[in-house]
Amino acid sequence: MSIELRQLRYFLAVAEEMHFGRAAAKLHMTQPPLSQAIQVLETKLGASLFTRTTRSIVLTAAGLALIPEAKKLLQQAQDLPQLVQRAASGESGHLSLAFVSIADYSILPPHLRKFRLQHPEIHIELHEATSDVQLDLLEKSEIDAGLLIPPIPDRFSQLLSYQKVLSEPLILALPEAYAKRKNPASLQTYKDLPLIIFPRKIAPAFHDTILGCFREVGLTPAISQEAIQMQTIIGLVSAGMGIALVPQSVSNLKRPGVVYQALPELTTTVEIGVAWLKKNTSPVLKTFLALLKN
């Protein structure tokens, strides 16, 4: 048998007054229906809440145990409208967000910091994943949004919406032992050093963009190593395994023995954007997308 909030309010009134007559007056009702309501509640709970005598009533152990729980339930019921309204407006809830590793050095930290400050009631679940993995997660509705590198393949174009967030130039990361004091720096200067790059099957657009930079200056690099994490690529550069072209923000990743140099000869930029399912109507997602626009 279900318990009504009204019955809990009646119980608390009697528990506070310790008198049925005074509790009934407080509730703006007569005593008989109040006594009957308490008896019904006791029947539903399967225990007496009060020990009654002709002159007084006393709370039983069951009644004492019910007081804090009844207060909690009534407070929760009172808070329900605000809770629902905040969820409907995107002020509370859950956001599942995936991101490519290079976003961790540029757009992700400041936007997450701002989002958490403005919306502390939203729980954020983060997943680091390459762009191809993110697209599969989005298709399966396993994440709400992904910070990835475009373009979006045709088979996903009907399912996803996309919004550009950042565009930045590529710079050169190279071992300090090979760095030459030449201004401005040029790929020609380091043409004999092997290249460390993302595998094409993992990030085809980014892979082709980097190789295109070499083609623009008439070079065909020798690829020595491939890695899917930016920190791994920079780690390999630190170990003297070769050079890498990385987004400018990756220079925030400091590693011993790594030097970053700007390449004015390159006009190519790398873009990061956010993708989400068109059918996803989550108010929390809408709130997050609005923040990324600012």
pLDDT digits (tens, 9 = 90+) for 70-104: 999 999 988 788 777 777 777 778 999 999 989 99
For residue 1, the model assigns a pLDDT of 64
CATH architecture of 5-88: Orthogonal Bundle (1.10)
Backbone phi and psi for residue 290, each to the nearest 5 degrees, phi listed first: -65, -40
**pLDDT (tens digit, 9 = 90+) per residue, 21-38?**
999 999 999 999 999 999
Number of H helices, E strands in the chain: 10, 11
Domain boundaries along the sequence of the chain:
5-88, 93-166+272-293, 168-268
Average pLDDT over residues 150-168: 93
CA distances 172 to 101, 141, 190, 195, Å, are 17, 37, 10, 11
Out of 13-27, 106-120, 170-184, 199-213, least confident range: 170-184
Q: Report the alpha-carbon distance of residue 294 to residue 276 in Å, rounded.
A: 18
Q: Do domains 93-166+272-293 and 168-268 have the same CATH topology?
A: yes
What pTM did the predictor assign? Answer: 0.71
Question: DSSP 3-state assignment of 106?
Answer: coil
Percent of the chain with pLDDT over 90: 76
What does CATH list as the number for 93-166+272-293?
Answer: 3.40.190.10
Select from 265, 259, 264, 250 the least CA-distant residue to 173. 259
Averaged pLDDT, 209-219: 93
Return the SS3 of 175.
strand
Cα angle 151-161-84, degrees, rounded to a multiple of 5: 145
Q: Does 213 have pLDDT greater than 90?
A: yes
Assigned fold of 168-268 = D-Maltodextrin-Binding Protein; domain 2 (3.40.190)
One-character DSSP codes across 225-288: EE-SSHHHHHHHHHTTS-BEEEEGGGGGS--TTEEEEE-TT---EEEEEEEEETT---HHHHHH
